[in-house]
Amino acid sequence: MFFWTPYTFVRIVSFFIAGILLGIYQPDFLPEHFALPALVGSVVLYFFLSWKLTSDFKPFGTGLVGLLAIFLAGYVNTMFNTDSRRPDHLNHVVESVEKYSVVITGYAEEKEKSWKVEGVIQQYHNGAEWKNGYAKVLLYLSRKDFEKPFSYGDRLLINGSPQELQGPANPGEFNYKRFLTFRKIYHQHFLRSSQVHYIENTPPSIIVAYSFHVRRWAENVISKHITGEQERSVAAALILGVKDGLDNDLVQAYASSGAMHVLAVSGLHVGIIYLILSFVLKPLHKWRYGKWVLAVISIFVLWSYAFVTGLSPSVLRAVTMFSVIAISRPLNYRTNIYNTLAVAAFILLVWEPFLIMSVGFQLSFLAVIGIVYIQPKLYWLWQPPNFFFDKVWQITCVSIAAQMATCSLGLLYFHQFPLYFLFSNLFVIPGAFISLLLGVLLLVVSGVEPVALVVGSVLEFILWLLNYLVFSVEQLPYSLINNIYITTFQSWLLMGILVSALLLLQYRRFAFVMALFFSGFTFGLVHWYHYREDVNHEKFVVYRVAGQCAMEWMTNGQSFFIADSTLMSDRDRMRFHIRPNRLISGVHRVHTNEIPFMSQQDGARLFAWKNQLILQIITDNFFFPEGMEVDYIVLSGNSIQDISKLTQLTCKQFIIDSSNSIFTATKIMKQAEEFNLPVYSVLHQGAFITKL
């Protein structure tokens, strides 16, 4: 018997995922007119071989054809779930869109200057007539104009045309466009009140509408009974998954202490509820059909909790996983847990194949698999002498197992590693357990005001204590290793190192030694290549940050950065636009606006860097001698309206930075073309970067 025989559904979901990934990364690999017949043909062939082949050849022959059919099913499922393939999708509209009707399909998120909410376009007007169209769109409603956002099901008439999402404009910048396309969103629109007209409320789903209504009620209950701002925001995040109120300091503290997972309702929270149910309803096991009663009650409570949280994707993912686990127990109490998890993943991916690209989906399943496989092996290494130490050791083993399984993805996506995660989880996990229990209790007893006041006060104290401990851990020296940069391929190699090491410890085979060596050696080789190509170079970068000037010189892990003060003080924009390139370039020390190689001129700045002369023109009151030669000329702040003024200067490249208006940049580009001058517009072409 092959070692993979007991893992039937693991094989099935693995090939299904392979088909999905092919459909995502190579969507035209198999033409639509070929893929579906190939799937049907492979299914027919599978049943034919099952009927005709003898028992000696049946497992091998039918197995291969069956797995091929599963692979094709994943590919076809992805194809039919890709909205941009729809003939009525807005991506295929070549005519102008002057206005359109949209229905709100999401729950509004509160941002610093706007409300962000998702909608679906139903019709558009091209200036002559209305036509049916379809596209998901992100709407940003200015908080200056809109005191409160629109609700789920509101149908709006919007003047103007939605903009297609733009890809990353700076090196290493997060690809927000790709992130949203995995959610089937290809357009966005920034709106003022004059552009929006309310029509009516027609919810696409009554169930979702009621779920959002219940979520708003739950938010109001929490806001009423928890007065502390940080405690209230943590309660809303921990109990309902509402993260709008979390400030940067709070998020950073939880990230630094390794407790970020409690601020997003996911497998941990749903697992806590399932654990409570299993403990409370344990006496049902004595009944003849007690396991089935427990499964039904558990599934009902879990989905009720999902309903209260607004049926968010992360909660639905976790509830589906634990629902499969709950129903698998009465069917066969000794069911292979890996097959159970594979069934849950299969159900989710059939419903939405693009979930495979969700960070939450990846982290949730990896964490659970790590806990299932690694935690028991760690736990049996030591037998605690008493109950207290036993519980501490259990939490420690769970923390280590989950961290080992998700470490590579954490480094890839978040570029950091919390050193004190073992210590913080000793109080964070029990704190989350108690807080979630009290939070659910608060919602249940909210109608009895005296009881609700007591429960709310206790919950607020627990959250205050939890926040205090988290901030205390953050203040410890070396609490966080950050600015770690690895590629996606290196993340896979780290997973390979972990899996090879675990299999080597379990099976003691030389093949796993070779796999471990190959993964480690390749990881080092890739890292050396990255250092050679990206770190061990002197670079000059002009970033694209809308309305801002931002330039940086990098060498030997140091950078010299000059930018407008408004950008310097905006941590979010700095983190989004500037920090990724510093990670790639191995920068560990930054000098801001202290440029020793800069000289200030009338209306300009001159930078003498590594035998390179870079001239930045910042106002129109500049003067330089005729025939001056520099390497680069950076035009900033709409200082130049007529590039013919600069024809007496000689340079390799004119660079129009993003502090200019798009109108000015476009005009200068046209003028430069007339004079045959080399010009690069950061606004049009993305960041300018050169290795000196």
The domains of the chain are located at: 8-80, 90-204, 210-333+415-482, 488-533, 539-691
Match 């002009």 to its residue by tokens.
542
Task: Name the helix (H) or strand (E) containing 426.
Answer: helix 421-444
Helices in 309-354 by DSSP H: which ranges?
A: 313-331, 337-351
Cβ contacts of 322 within 8 Å, gap of 6 or more: 267, 270, 271, 274, 298, 302
pLDDT at position 17 is 95
Tens of pLDDT, residue by residue over 497-516, are: 999 999 998 888 899 999 99
The class (CATH top level) of 539-691 is alpha beta
Q: How many other C-beta atoms can be found within 10 angstroms of the C-beta atom of residue 15? A: 18
DSSP 640-692: -S-GGGGTTSB-SEEEE-TTS-HHHHHHHHHHHHHTT--EEEHHHH--EEEE-
Give the pair of three-digit tokens for residue 338: 């890996």
Round to whole Å and give the CA distance between 673 and 150: 47
DSSP summary character for residue 282: G
Q: Judge whether 24 and 354 are in contact, CB under 8 Å.
A: yes
Q: What mean pLDDT comes out for the span 364-389?
A: 87
Token pair, residue 401, equals 């197992």
- Average pLDDT of 360-383? 87
Region 416-431: what's the mean pLDDT? 86
Residue 3: pLDDT over 80: no
Relative to beta strand 130-142, strand 185-191 is parallel
User: Across the strands, what pairs with 691?
Assistant: 539
Q: What is the DSSP letter of 458?
A: H
Distance CA 588, CA 558 (A): 6
Q: What residues contact residue 599 under an 8 Å CB cut-off, 6+ apart? A: 605, 606, 608
Q: Tell me the mean pLDDT in the region 268-288.
A: 80
Spatial separation of the C-alpha atoms in residues 10 and 449, rounded to whole Å: 50
Instruction: Indicate the burial class of 115 (C-beta count within 10 angstroms; 0-12, 13-18, 19 or more).
Output: buried
Distance CA 30, CA 38 (A): 10
Architecture of domain 90-204: Beta Barrel (2.40)
Check: CB of residue 132 under 8 Å from CB of residue 150.
no
- Quick one: tokens of 6? 């007991």
Pick from 592, 550, 574: nearest CA to 686: 550
Span of 54-68, 464-478, 541-555 with lowest mean pLDDT? 54-68
Q: Given this chain, do its domains 90-204 and 539-691 carry the same CATH topology? A: no
Choice among 253-262, 530-539, 596-605 with the minimum mean pLDDT: 253-262
Contact (CB, 8 A) for 400 and 378: yes
Q: How far apart are CA 577 and CA 58, in angstroms?
A: 57
Residue type, 429: I
- As a whole number, the mean pLDDT across the chain is 87
* Beta strands 130-142; 550-555: pairing state: unpaired
- pLDDT exceeds 50 at position 1: no
Q: pLDDT tens for residues 343-358?
A: 888 999 999 999 999 8
Q: At what angle do helices 313-331 and 290-308 cross, to 10 degrees?
A: 180
In angstroms, the CA 252 to CA 249 distance is 5
223 closest CA partner among 210, 247, 209, 239: 239
Residues 6+ apart with CB under 8 A from 630: 606, 613, 614, 615, 649, 650, 651
User: Which residues lie closer than 8 Å to 517 by C-beta, 6 or more apart?
Assistant: none
Residue 643, CB half-sphere, CA atoms under 13 Å: how many? 25
